[in-house]
Structure 1
Amino acid sequence: MKLILLNKPFNVMCQFSAHPTRTTLADYVKIPHIYPAGRLDADSEGLILLTDDGQLQNRISHPDHKQAKTYLVQVEGTPDRAALEQLRQPLDLGDFITMPCTVKHIHEPEWLWPRNPPVRQRASIPTSWLSLTLSEGKNRQVRRMTAAVGLPTLRLIRISIGGYSLETHPLLPGEWQNIQL
């Protein structure tokens, strides 16, 4: 059984099959018969777990197992106490209501790599960083949550899934590590 930790770069499709215009996971990991346990949008970065074991893939990615996932989120604007509290509570996004989550206003981590291409900057609007931990992961959920409280997401980086983290397994974008189970 294999478990691979990959730091998925920005603008990479979270699939091994070819894509007509973008790079995919196959451009970074050349191990046959492994599959992502969960997904990240092309415009999101960070930790992806890959495995060749269907049961492990299910335990990692199926919503019934509620694996905690932590994201670093660069947002446009400065969060106030009310916005942070809205994010923590169940939030109605129209087609579903989120589960409670943990969110903190943080400083940009010193260990964070620069994004290529860089995030757009506007002189008149500051940006801030949040650490947000969810136990669910619906399509574009973090981006939709921050937008709902007036803090559009500029950069989204998943740094942990369950007990696996880019803080304890530091990998630059495109790097991967085989974990012994």
Structure 2
Amino acid sequence: MSKLILLNKPYGVLCQFTDPDGRPTLADFISESGVYAAGRLDFDSEGLLLLTADGRLQHRIAHPSNKLPKVYWAQVEGEITDDALLQLRLGVTLKDGETAPAEARRIPAPAIWRRQPPIRQRKSIPTSWIELTITEGRNRQVRRMTAAVGFPTLRLVRRAIGDWSLEGLAPGESRCEQVKMPAIPQAPGKPRSRKPSANRRKRPRNAAPGAGRDSRTRKPRR
């Protein structure tokens, strides 16, 4: 069993334990030593962050090849349209290539904590909330995706990673869980060929059974 820490990272906290500029870091909320974040969450984003000292578990959670779904709540500028949601579902083109298809839907404003400081909001422009589920882990991906379809993200909260969620955690709070780590499957490869034994003689491909044996060792038929 491996120990996993679930933290609700507040806005304006770095996903590291030290900072030469004195900004808030994970050390302000996590006292346990030897743990590292399994994946990152931007300085200006909030929500679920997973930490562990188990390198194999960290890899299983964070590596993009494992396609662990990550669920985000994004407050975007403007009333999100059906066409924009469809584009998000199909994949959008970013500078580093096309994104994989995502799950995207419009949601009511979630009943969560107020952000400190509050978002910059213009009275003349409404905002809306969407839930976006992705399996990739590109830098600032959700923000770039919503901007690409014409709806910049104003606030971003990561709600869940795989089966883990921030439910019951206030900003800055954490809890520990024991996780059974499944074996990481090996990459498929070519089966190893068996070399014939040095003292085993090869039989010609079309030879009859028993051909090539020393006739002196064969028993006569009765």
Write out aligned runs for 1:1-181 (5 A): 1-110=2-111, 112-167=112-167, 170-181=168-179
Q: Which runs of 5+ in 1 are unaligned?
A: none
Query: What secondary structure sits across from 2:94 in the alignment?
Result: coil
Give CA deviations for 1:105-150 in whole Å, capped at 9, x if unaligned: 110112x111000111211000000000001110000000000111
- Deviation, structure 1 residue 8: 0.4
Q: CA RMSD in A?
A: 0.9
TM-score with structure 1 setting the length: 0.96
* TM-score of the two chains, using structure 2 as the length reference: 0.78
Residue 171 of structure 1: how far off its partner (Å): 0.4
CA distance in 2, matches of 1:14, 1:81: 34
1:2 positional shift = 1.6
Runs of 4+ displaced beyond 2 Å: none
Question: What's the counterpart of residue 198 of structure 2?
Answer: none
Report the count of equivalent residues. 178
> Against the structure 1 CA distance between its residues 153 and 33, is the aligned structure 2 distance closer, same or farther, given a 3 Å change threshold?
same
Matched to 1:138, the amino acid is R
Unmatched 5+ stretches in structure 2: 180-222
How far apart are 1:26 and its partner, in Å? 0.8
Q: Which has the higher contact order (CA 8 A, sep 6+)?
A: 1
Look up the equivalent residue of 1:114 and give its one-letter code.
R
Q: Highest CA radius of gyration, 1 or 2?
A: 2
Letter of the aligned partner of 1:5 in structure 2?
L
| Distance in 2 (alpha carbons) for counterparts of 1:20 and 1:32 | 21
Equivalent position SS for 1:2: strand
Aligned to 2:98, what secondary structure does the other structure show?
coil
Deviation at residue 19 of structure 1 after TM alignment: 3.9
* 1:16, distance to aligned residue in structure 2 (A): 1.3
Q: What is the CA–CA distance in structure 2 between the aligned matches of 1:97 and 1:108, rounded to whole Å?
A: 29
